[in-house]
Amino acid sequence: MRHRPHLPSSRAVAAALVAASLLLAGCSGGDDEAAPAEDAPAEPTASETTEPPEPTYWPLTGLERTGKAPKHPVIVTKVDNTSSSAPQVGLGSADLVVEELVEGGYTRLAAFYYSKVPASIGPVRSMRASDIGIVPDGATVVTSGAAPVTIKRVNGAGIPWITEGDAGVYRETTRSAPYNLFARLGDIAKRLKAEEEPPPYLPWGTAADLPKGGKARTLTADFGAHSTSWQFQKGGYVNTDSYAAEGDQFPADSVLVLRVRVGDAGYRDPAGYPVPETKLEGKGAALLFHGGRVIRGTWSKDGLKGPIELSTKNGELTVPAGHVWVELVPAVDGNVTFAK
């Protein structure tokens, strides 16, 4: 009698196949071996994939800004610059200062405030038509007023201004008129709102970008009846004939001299002097004083509202970021001297 062969059950076959596959897996190797799940590279986190934000810079100094922009616009305050103004208050907080010619060969200051606003500023004096080319778009001017023809032109240029009678502008009782008008700039700034951040006032760069230039540790800008002198000391420039209060002088890192055309504003002041008008447009010679040296160049400005551009014979010239005093010296009847 023949015996029927014994066949394994289907469950036993399945178990044998599983065991064989495990054995093969344990014996296999090579580059194709799959890494355990816990050894897989981790996905990059959001902080690793997000690039750091682009740095932002103050428009009037070129220095890096760490916080948000102020809500107020640039505030330009017209400040008297004669011995009768002494002591001037608030210049030490300015981002930038422009010195301009007025009647009789004297000068007046346009002090720019944006990154820092002092509690008070003064003595506040009147605007000139020259300010149309000096004041940047979007800025507000604090002034004692202006001649009717000037007010008409300033209004036509769309420049808002604040004067006596407005909140924050007051008379200082310890001084004599007209040198006793002051402004509480901190209070004024809280009421002003800017539509957008202002563009850079100057082409900013670094000291490393500058041509070598020549040695110049002292300089004098001569406007006629008034001269402004500077000495390079401890890395900056000191105004040796400043009318500012002690400890409140403008901290100039650079002095930028622009030789400008001067015309007639078309009227005379109460003393009978013809009122000049600086033409801050077109082009002219420029001198940039920084680090005890001077670089000769050219400035250009396309119209009264165009940006100031600087160049040398080798190309673009930038101003090292910092606090800059701009001297608008007449190309005719003005003078600039400097020495080692």
Cα 75–Cα 126–Cα 278 angle in degrees, nearest 5: 85
Domain enclosing residue 260, as ranges: 64-339
Predicted local confidence at residue 270, as pLDDT: 85
**What is the average pLDDT across 129-154?**
97
Task: Give a yes or no: residue 270 inside a domain.
Answer: yes
In a domain, 15, yes or no: no
28 vs 316 pLDDT, higher one? 316
315 in any annotated domain? yes
Provide the number of structural domains found in the chain. Answer: 1
Does a structural domain hold residue 160? yes
Structure tokens at 4: 């029927």
Task: State the pLDDT at residue 15.
Answer: 41
pTM: 0.85
Q: Which pair of tokens denotes residue 111?
A: 């002090």
Helix locations, the chain, DSSP H: 10-27, 46-49, 131-134, 148-156, 185-191
pLDDT digits (tens, 9 = 90+) for 293-305: 999 999 999 999 9
Q: Which pLDDT score is estimated for 90? A: 98
Residue 33 falls within a domain, yes or no?
no
Phi, psi of 17 (to 5 degrees): -65, -40
pLDDT level of residue 235 (50, 70, 90 thresholds):
very high
Q: Is the per-residue pLDDT at 24 higher than 60?
A: no
Rounded (5°) CA angle 303-305-309: 75
pLDDT at 271: 85
* Integer angstrom CA distances of residue 183 from 76, 123, 143, 217, 290: 12, 8, 9, 35, 32
Residue 221 lies in a domain: yes
Q: Does 3 have pLDDT greater than 90?
A: no
55 within a domain of the structure (yes/no)? no
Q: What is the pLDDT of residues 185-195, one digit of tens each?
A: 999 999 999 98
CATH of the domain at 197: 3.50.90.10
Q: Comparing 11-20, 76-85, 234-243, 324-333, which segment has the lowest mean pLDDT? A: 11-20
pLDDT of 62-74, one tens digit each?
999 999 999 999 9
Over residues 133-146, mean pLDDT: 97
| Percent of the chain topping pLDDT 70 | 86
Domain presence at residue 281: yes
| pLDDT, position 44 | 56
Between the alpha carbon of residue 84 and those of residues 76, 88, 103, 104, 173, the distances in Å are 21, 9, 16, 15, 15
